[in-house]
């Protein structure tokens, strides 16, 4: 465990922090452009910096006023978690599909790790491959592959719940974060033995997500938080969009939230689940004018319900039973979001997550989540290498026409290598 913790939080062997390495990489990409194009981008960057500077100065007073209206609760220490058996679950799909003339390939994987007393006592990983016809929108292929990844994640989490005698399951991501865009693919033929259509796959994921959320043992750890419920609430209270910060909740809380505290929507909104509605309020107001904020909020509620029914074909009640909290263990790391069922007691979990032995100081995230994420993340060029391995095995087959084989596995765009 110690070795893994060091690798996550340390500098690289050359002595550069990850940030400095990234800056060098960005600079090297910049100089590959023609000089005139470089200079024009420098000017665009200068103009953009000036715009952001003005916005930051304008937002400062609004943020100061907003902070007085938010409640940040200190975390009560507890060692109850020391006896817990804790599972972390995650999945990963190809950062980039492999586009060949004959087919479109994607790879994905999932896994779980089980911890006792801070030590890994069990781990298991499962691979997957999606082969899709070359015709059609690659965005559809990516969405289907993402759904297959989530299905594999849910299977791993359910196994931990039913077979591994765990006290807590940390799931990387939102319980129902997969739902966006499902309505566009529900009737698509998938052709897998277990799932004839994409709708069958979606229904399976949805049922397992409900099971996990209602288990009183599963917590969703959401890193990519895009909800804007706080900004929506501020606009609703002021009755004016001019008060909007145009920032999502993670961005606002990164500025305002003290370390070692928890923020819950239950301290701000009429009901904790109302974040679903206030999150949509700004987009509703941007579409047309309303005679009152109450009417706009009612439209946001209607839009949420219709969206859930269209994408998942279920009543929205299971989603409204999910409450969200933000946790910030360190001042130098942004807060992240925790999703739990309304009947879940959050106190013991945040005490566990606040402990230095369970939290990665480099990211501010739970070590179990960082570790499983690192282990299942597929490298950006892995799918290309995987497809090349398939091709290499076929080359050895004397019955295969090598010219046809070469054409089948030729990249869809011969001008550029995949990933270039």
Question: Is 23 part of any domain?
Answer: no
Sorting pLDDT into bands at 50, 70 and 90, what band is 400? confident
pLDDT at 220: 98
* Residue whose C-alpha is closest to residue 337's, from 307, 369, 362, 372: 369
Alpha-helical regions (H) of 115-175: 138-163
Q: Is residue 63 part of a domain?
A: no
Determine the Cα–Cα distance for residues 45 and 157; give it in Å rounded to an integer: 44
Residue 390 lies in a domain: no
Pair 213, 343: CB distance under 8 Å: no
Question: Is 310 inside any structural domain?
Answer: yes
Strand partners, 220: 171, 339
Half-sphere exposure of 359 (CA within 13 A, CB side): 23
Give me the mean pLDDT over the 46-55 stretch: 92
Q: Is residue 43 part of a domain?
A: no
Q: How far apart are CA 360 and CA 371, in angstroms?
A: 10
Summarize pLDDT for 80-125 with one digit per residue, the tens.
Answer: 899 999 999 999 998 777 766 567 788 999 999 999 988 999 999 9
Number of domains in the chain: 1
| Domain containing residue 311 | 73-382
Per the structure block, which two tokens stand in for 59? 């937002």
Q: Is the pLDDT of residue 1 over 70?
A: no
Q: How distant, in Å, are the alpha carbons of 37, 120, 311, 420 from that of 116?
A: 55, 7, 38, 43
Q: Which of 286, 306, 347 is closest to 80 using CA atoms?
A: 347
In a domain, 27, yes or no: no
Residue 61 lies in a domain: no
Predicted TM-score (pTM) of this structure: 0.85
Residue 286 lies in a domain: yes
Q: What are phi and psi of 91, to 5 degrees?
A: -140, 165
Lowest-confidence region among 88-92, 102-106, 335-339, 347-351: 102-106
pLDDT band of residue 419 (cuts 50, 70, 90) is low
């Amino acid at each position: 465990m110690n070795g893994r913790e060091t690798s996550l939080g340390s500098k690289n062997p050359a002595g550069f922090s990850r940030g400095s390495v990234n800056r060098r990489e960005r600079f090297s990409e910049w100089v590959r452009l023609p000089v005139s194009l470089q200079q024009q981008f420098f000017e665009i960057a200068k103009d953009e910096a000036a715009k952001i500077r003005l916005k930051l100065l304008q937002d400062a007073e609004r943020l100061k006023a907003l902070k007085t209206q938010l409640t940040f609760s200190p975390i009560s220490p507890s060692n109850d978690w020391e006896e817990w058996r804790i599972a972390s679950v995650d999945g990963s799909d190809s950062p980039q599909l492999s586009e060949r003339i004959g087919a479109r390939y994607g790879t994905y994987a999932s896994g779980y790790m089980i911890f006792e007393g801070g030590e890994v006592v069990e781990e298991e990983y499962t691979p997957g491959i999606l082969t899709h016809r070359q015709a059609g929108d690659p965005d559809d292929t990516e969405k289907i592959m993402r759904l297959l990844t989530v299905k594999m994640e849910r299977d791993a989490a359910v196994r931990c719940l039913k077979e591994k005698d765990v006290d807590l399951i940390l799931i990387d991501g939102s319980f129902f974060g997969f739902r966006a865009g499902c309505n566009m693919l529900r009737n698509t033929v998938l052709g897998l033995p277990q799932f004839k259509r994409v709708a069958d796959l979606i229904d399976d994921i949805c049922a397992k997500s409900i099971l996990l959320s209602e288990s009183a043992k599963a917590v969703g750890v959401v890193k990519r938080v895009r909800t804007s419920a706080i900004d929506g609430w501020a606009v609703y209270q002021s009755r004016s969009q001019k008060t909007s910060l145009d920032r999502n909740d993670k961005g606002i809380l990164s500025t305002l939230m003290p370390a070692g505290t928890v923020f819950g929507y239950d301290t701000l909104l009429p009901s904790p689940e109302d974040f679903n509605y206030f999150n949509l309020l700004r987009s509703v107001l941007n579409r047309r004018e309303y005679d009152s904020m109450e009417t706009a909020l009612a439209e946001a509620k209607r839009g949420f319900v219709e969206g859930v029914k269209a994408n998942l074909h279920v009543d929205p009640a299971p989603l409204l039973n999910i409450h969200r909290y933000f946790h910030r263990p360190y001042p130098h790391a942004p807060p992240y979001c925790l999703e739990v069922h309304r009947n879940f007691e959050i106190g013991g979990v945040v005490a566990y997550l606040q402990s230095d032995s369970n939290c990665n100081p480099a990211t501010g995230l739970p070590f179990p989540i960082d570790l499983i994420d690192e282990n299942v993340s597929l490298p950006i060029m892995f799918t290309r290498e995987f497809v090349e391995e398939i091709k290499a095995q076929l080359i050895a087959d004397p019955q295969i026409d090598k010219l046809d084989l070469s054409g089948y596995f030729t990249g869809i765009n011969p001008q550029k290598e995949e990933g270039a």
